[in-house]
Chains A and B, each alone.
Chain A
Amino acid sequence: MAIKYSELVIEHFKNPHNVGTIDKPDASATEGSPACGDQLTVYLKVNSETQIIEDIKFQSYGCASNIATASIITDLAMGRNIEAAKQITWKQAADELGGLPPIKMHCSVLAVDALRSAIKNWEHKHLGKEIDDSLNKKNIVKELQKVIYGQVGVDIVSLKLLKYIGVDEKNNVLLELAIKKDDPFLDDVKNEINERMEKFPKIASVKISLV
């Protein structure tokens, strides 16, 4: 079956809003990496008194939906205060674009993730909030909720594909996934998981076994 983008995705890809950088941003964050796919950087200018996002820009190394989702989340975040901006979800971003094909849903996740990370960095810098990157099950689940199973466009936690999380005393992580070994999306899911797990500075290794 043909995969098609909505007219809004095409429009945001053709003429994206808020492309570029901010000179001396108050915060920024980069998510994704060219080593395993797309990359997105979000720059913020936040009014420290009102906590309103006064300017937001992005740069994208990615496909049409990556650029379009970055364009829409920057539109959604612009002029909001950071608490409201944190509430923007990837489903909402996809809906605002008139929907995304399931295989492209991960682009929306990346865009929202970059926005939230930039906000976190701002909170860390300006409000002194700690960034919680400790290696525990709760935080691991949070990260794995961003790993999308491309066939249906839903994350592996909601799909109950994640069966077990183990963390030993040496910070080795064991994940059990209910995905068949010849599943065409297995490579992508593994790549995404490994990329997500890099968020934990203390992690020693990640082992993924299929059950």
Chain B
Amino acid sequence: MSSKEVYLDSCKTSRLAPEVLDAMMPYLTEKYWYPGSFTSIGTEIAEVIEEAQETVARSMNAKPEEITFTSGGTDANNIAIQGILQANRERGRHFICSNVSHPSVLAVFQGMEKQGFEGTYISANKDGYLNLDELKAAIRPDTILAAFTHVNHILGTIQDVKAIRNILDQADHKIYLFMDSCEAYTKIPLDVEELGIDSLSISVHKFNGPKGMGILYVKKGTEIVPTQFGITRLYKLKPGAINVPGIVGTAKAVEIAFTNFDQNTRSLRELQKLLYDEIMKRIPDAVLNGPPLEERSPAHLNVTFRYIEGEAIMMMLDFNKIHVETGSACSSKDLRPNYILMNTGRTHEESHGSVRFTLDRFVTKEDIPKTVDALEKTAKELRRRSPLGKKEQ
């Protein structure tokens, strides 16, 4: 992508960091070998993979053997959710999820419902926080798994994982806790021990790593069965070919994210605040969706521009080489407004005019005024065309 482009959609996918590509390159070219024992080439690769597992494990206070590299976040979700449900089906068939979970997680549960499992979907409040009283009420003697999205991909809401864990622990039987941490990882501190997470999934291309890579954490002692079968060279849960360059790239992306983690997240926070302040200062009738800035992920901002529609805003920005996402029904593949916004009490109109901005290390301070300049012009022009809000303006 040319440096003139402003990319504010890293929650969808992000740019591969050049250092990551450099780290991967030898493993795509001259070091194309597989891990193995006794031989020089086999042991070299085996050690590289071990190091990668250690790097990832350290970043979340896990043990290296609790880390499995997968082919993406969806893959990790499927392995964990299906594997835990199937392994524990003698204890029960009930799981708890929420109606503000990521669609990739909801899709796994919809599949499991067709296989005889039963779900309770708890709701969230207007800022996207799960209603924990509903969680308490949802627990049944046959509940075996609770699974939630750690940081909401639309609103940036950070769930209180410790509080969720405490509620699950009040049950007189084991309820596993799975977190889809794709938007949390590298954006907020994540300690699996401290939070009491049994399993989590991470998507690597969301933090400047390679596409087609995921990280699965499964706490030692978790009852889980494999759901994929093949040659298990490295992991019992993930058979098949080993993506060595992907693993190396993942480790590098993790290393970059966690070197100066505090400074990195502080920089994101500054950009987020700058973007928000500039929008609010310069564009009338802009409404923040989700919790106050300081409570949410530093990489997320979601704003509704009243009286105008999100796909039109997104396209106008695109003409200016600025890339964002919208929750508008016009932009969805089934003409439905974004369900996260609707399930957190926004109206169709509010969802229709919503724009999501997500940040990463490649967003610069200079990108912010450029974005808000374009947004201001866009809002003015689209409002000139709109029949709505004339009296208020």
Measuring CB to CB, which residues of chain A are less than 8 angstroms from any residue of chain B? 13-14, 16, 19-20, 30, 34-41, 59-67, 103, 106, 150, 184-185, 187-188
Contacts and interface: CB of A to CB of B under 8 A. Distances in A.
Interface string B76-108: 000000000000000000000000000000000
B331 A63 contact: yes
B309 A61 contact: yes
Nearest to A182: B110
A184 B110 CA distance: 14
A35 B349 contact: yes
B334 A61 contact: no
Given A63-B330, A188-B334, A39 B387 contact: yes
B209 to A, nearest CB: 25
Contacts of B188: none
A61 B307 contact: yes
Contacts, number: 75
A185 B384 CA distance: 31
Interface stretch (B164-172, B175-183, B311-319): B311-319
A52 B360 CA distance: 56
Which of B308, B334, B335, B388 has the most chain A CB atoms closer than 10 A to its own CB?
A: B335
Q: Which label, helix, strand, loop or mixed, suits the secondary structure of the A interface?
A: mixed
Contact of A64 (B312, B334, B349, B352): B312
- How many interface residues does chain B have, given as a range? 20 to 34
B333 A35 contact: no
Contacts of B388: 34, 39, 61
A184 B309 contact: no
A62 B309 contact: yes
Given A41-B387, A61-B307, A184 B319 contact: no
Interface in B337-391: 347-349, 352, 384-388
B333 A103 contact: yes
B328 interface: yes
B335 A63 contact: no
Given A34-B349, A35-B347, A35-B349, A61 B386 contact: yes
A207 B388 CA distance: 30
> Which of A34, A59, A64: most chain B CB closer than 10 A?
A34
B329 interface: yes
A187 B319 CA distance: 31
A187 B334 contact: yes
A63 B309 contact: yes
